[in-house]
Amino acid sequence: MLLEARLQAASEPAHNAALGRRMLDVLKRHDVNRVGFYWPLTGEFDARGAIALWLAAGAQREASLPVVRERGVPLEFHAWTPDTPMKLGHHKIAEPISGQVVIPDLLFVPCVGFDAAGYRLGYGGGYYDRTLAAWPGATQPLTVGVAYEACRTDALQREAHDMPLDLIVTEAGLYPRPVN
């Protein structure tokens, strides 16, 4: 049901334009220099255009995409620009071949669905939760889920390893994680 709702929302050009603007607003508000994001799968928002605009507006900025070194281990983020050569990696998802590791200050995470408590539903592989649990930097990145409003739900089932996101951005608004 959520995959269908996301696919329908992704087919609306106005939703994608609004989501791109809101992602840029988040980047401006948080004034970071290193951003991690994701290569879009079917139905996911394609953030490459927004990230390319963000990169072009600042000399010290770096963007990166996840690289799956092997199943079951944390993701690495490798430098990406719109001109970076790519290869097909695990799960047949494009990965940069730059080899340059970047530790993001802000991490955009794709969502199949999300709830009011800041939890996301992904594809069930646990890559982002595992990556955040073993984060290599001294400070965790700001985690920002990227979703369509149609994929919001009251509550998702959670597992012990699930980690809430700091913020969810949709075409309709921003949802900060509630203070407990």
Q: What is the pLDDT along the chain (180 residues), one digit of tens a residue?
A: 888 888 889 889 999 999 999 999 999 999 999 999 999 998 899 999 999 999 999 889 999 999 998 888 899 999 999 999 999 998 889 999 989 999 999 999 999 999 989 999 887 678 888 899 899 877 899 999 999 999 999 888 888 778 899 999 999 999 988 765
**Cα–Cα distance list, 83 to 17, 44, 86, 96, 103 (Å):** 22, 21, 9, 10, 20
Q: Is 128 annotated as a binding residue?
A: yes
Residue 127 marked in a binding site:
yes
Q: Is 166 exposed, middle or buried (0-12, 13-18, 19+ CB in 10 A)?
A: middle
DSSP letter, residue 101: B
Judge whether 126 is annotated as a binding position: yes
Q: Is 125 annotated as a binding residue?
A: yes
- Alpha-helix runs per DSSP H in the chain: 2-10, 13-30, 48-56, 127-133
**Residue 127, pLDDT score:** 86
pTM above 0.75, yes or no: yes
Q: What is the pLDDT of residue 179?
A: 66
Q: What is the pLDDT of residue 39?
A: 96
Asked whether residue 173 is marked as a ligand-binding residue, the answer is no
Determine if residue 122 is labeled as part of a ligand binding site.
yes
Pick the CATH number of 2-176 from 3.40.50.10420, 2.60.40.10, 3.60.15.10, 3.30.70.100: 3.40.50.10420
pLDDT at 15: 95
At residue 76, the pLDDT reads 95
- The predicted pLDDT at position 45 comes to 96
Residue type, 137: G
Position 141 scores a pLDDT of 96
Q: How far apart are CA 51 and CA 22, in angstroms?
A: 12
Is 123 marked within a binding site? Answer: yes
CA distance 154 to 170: 15
